[in-house]
Structure 1
Amino acid sequence: MTMSLSPSSPSPTSSVLDHDSGVAVLDKASLLLSVLEDGPASVSRIVRVTGLTRPTAHRLALALQRLRLVTRDARGRFLLGPRLSEMAVVEHGDRMLALAGPVLTSLRDRTGASARLYRRCDDRVLCVAAAETSSDIAATVPVGTAFPMRSGSVAQVLLAWEDPDVLYRGLVGARFTATVLAGVRRRGWAQSFGERGRGSAELTAPVRGPGGRVVAALCLSGPVGLITDEPAREYGSAVIDAALRLGEASDT
């Protein structure tokens, strides 16, 4: 094993051994990035999970940040950076992600609310593109941020049209019910309140790929006073139109 662990760290696990390429610095960087797959993490959490020393973890995180493989949120935590999504666009020809920037920017400018694109990643939702407003930095969601699929309109949209066995597994531990998901399927969109802080509201529509399969979720997020208590009445058509545009470009 090429990775040095701090004296107080637990013994390496099989997950650590998976990052043994024979090149120590790459192994450590890979291990650090794997922690961020679970969402934003402080240096302390990176140290605790990986067993890296604090100076090493901090130095690697800053180096990855300079390469834009890692970024930081409003609380100073590290998370996966935008370059990963950009490389995916170049490598895989992801036309939906390539178009997402201008579509989300147009939606943000039209509504005055933040517009974000999410995809499902195992049992989490991952922000893959965003056009944020500048009014509340603390409420932003940097690209690469992942959330558990337990609550919120994004999780509801990404789960509502799944096969029954997948849907019911997804309901385990969720803060919404099968009845709520049935309502999402009936309306064609979902809404939630308080997910990004008190007084916030979200409206989310599905992005459909070939065969009508839901491949992503387009979310409009902002203060309740802006989006109103009935967001679909105010911005529903704008969000759905943007989701349709992205779906037409999807090659997934």
Structure 2
Amino acid sequence: MGHSSGIGVLDKAVQVLRATAAAPIGLADLCAATGLPRATAHRLAVGLEVHGLLGRDELGRWHPGSMLAVLAASAPDPLLSASTEVLPRLRDRTGESVQVYRPDGMMRTCIAVSEPASGLRDTVPLGARLPMTAGSAAKVLAAWGDTATQRTALADGTITDRMLAEVRRRGWAQSAGERESGVASVSAPIRDRAGAVIAAVSVSGPIERIGRRPGARWAGDLIQASDALTARL
């Protein structure tokens, strides 16, 4: 997000793809989201549609195309492999549900989960797309995200600049009843080999069991897990 390859037409095409990630989008909104001239945005979107990277709904709005799923399914994902190793240990240590979230346009997607064998769970379905405006994982991704991500996270006032500064200072975030009433969570960043934050690992559960400040109990365990995930990347 926000990176430049030095190949202008490629970077513009990726801008168009990213703009469709959150919801189907028409040409006017596509121009507003990308800053591209109308003719350029239309030409790129139609070209991406020809190759199956974009599709259109019944209103003519563009959305991610089926070829993206085909390509993604064939690509190895080291973060998923690392999550398979690390998440069960974090789940067993905390006794709670654990997830990994990856930024997905102006949303976040749950790409890995590990649930306890029994007891009341905070079940986030694999593949669920959640808003960037609430929850500890959203705070982590926004704290180290680009300007557009931070602007989205701050949009409704649940997350503030002061909160994001605190997350960066201590290295983790927590929330209680923000995304869903009665649910609390704590999250930490996962970094790539260059140090950029690419995902967040979370522990979540009912407030009545884990309290309104779960970071006091599990921040240390969570950071160990995030370090383990980072090391495997």
Partners of 2:167 and 2:88 in 1: how far apart? 25
Q: Say which of 95, 113, 116 aligns to 1:130.
A: 113
Contact 2:143 2:150 in 1 (8 A): yes
| Identity %, equivalent residues | 36
Residues 103 and 119 from structure 1, CA distance in 2 versus in 1: closer, same or farther, beyond 3 angstroms? same
Amino acid in structure 2 at the alignment position of 1:156? K
Amino acid in structure 1 at the alignment position of 2:167? V
Secondary structure, in 3 states, of the residue corresponding to 2:194? helix
Match of 2:213 in 1: 230
**TM-score, with length taken from structure 1:** 0.61
Secondary structure, in 3 states, of the residue corresponding to 1:150? coil
**TM-score, with length taken from structure 2:** 0.66
Match of 2:13 in 1: none
Match of 2:100 in 1: 117
Q: CA deviation at 1:135?
A: 3.2
Q: CA deviation at 1:191?
A: 0.5
Partners of 2:73 and 2:49 in 1: how far apart? 28
Match of 1:191 in 2: 174
Match of 1:243 in 2: 226
Amino acid in structure 2 at the alignment position of 1:122? G
Matches for 1:167-186 after TM superposition, within 5 Å: 167-168=150-151, 170-186=153-169
Provide Cα deviations, 1:5-51, integer angstroms capped at 9, x if missing partner: xxxxxxxx779x969779xxx9xxx96xx8xxxxxxxxxxxxxx658
Match of 2:89 in 1: 106
Secondary structure, in 3 states, of the residue corresponding to 2:125? coil
Q: CA deviation at 1:152?
A: 1.2
Secondary structure, in 3 states, of the residue corresponding to 1:176? coil
Partners of 2:149 and 2:183 in 1: how far apart? 29
Q: Which runs of 4+ in 1 moved over 4 A?
A: 17-22, 87-90, 163-166
Secondary structure, in 3 states, of the residue corresponding to 1:162? coil
Residues 181 and 243 from structure 1, CA distance in 2 versus in 1: closer, same or farther, beyond 3 angstroms? same
Residues 207 and 112 from structure 1, CA distance in 2 versus in 1: closer, same or farther, beyond 3 angstroms? same
Residues 167 and 50 from structure 1, CA distance in 2 versus in 1: closer, same or farther, beyond 3 angstroms? same
Partners of 1:249 and 1:89 in 2: how far apart? 21
Matches for 1:40-119 after TM superposition, within 5 Å: 50=58, 88=72, 91=75, 93-119=76-102
Provide Cα deviations, 1:189-245, integer angstroms capped at 9, x if missing partner: 111112464322100001111222111000100122332333222111111111111
Provide Cα deviations, 1:161-207, integer angstroms capped at 9, x if missing partner: 23456534542335211111111111111111124643221000011
Q: CA RMSD of the aligned region, Å?
A: 3.3
**Alignment coverage as a number of residue pairs:** 182
Residues 233 and 101 from structure 1, CA distance in 2 versus in 1: closer, same or farther, beyond 3 angstroms? same
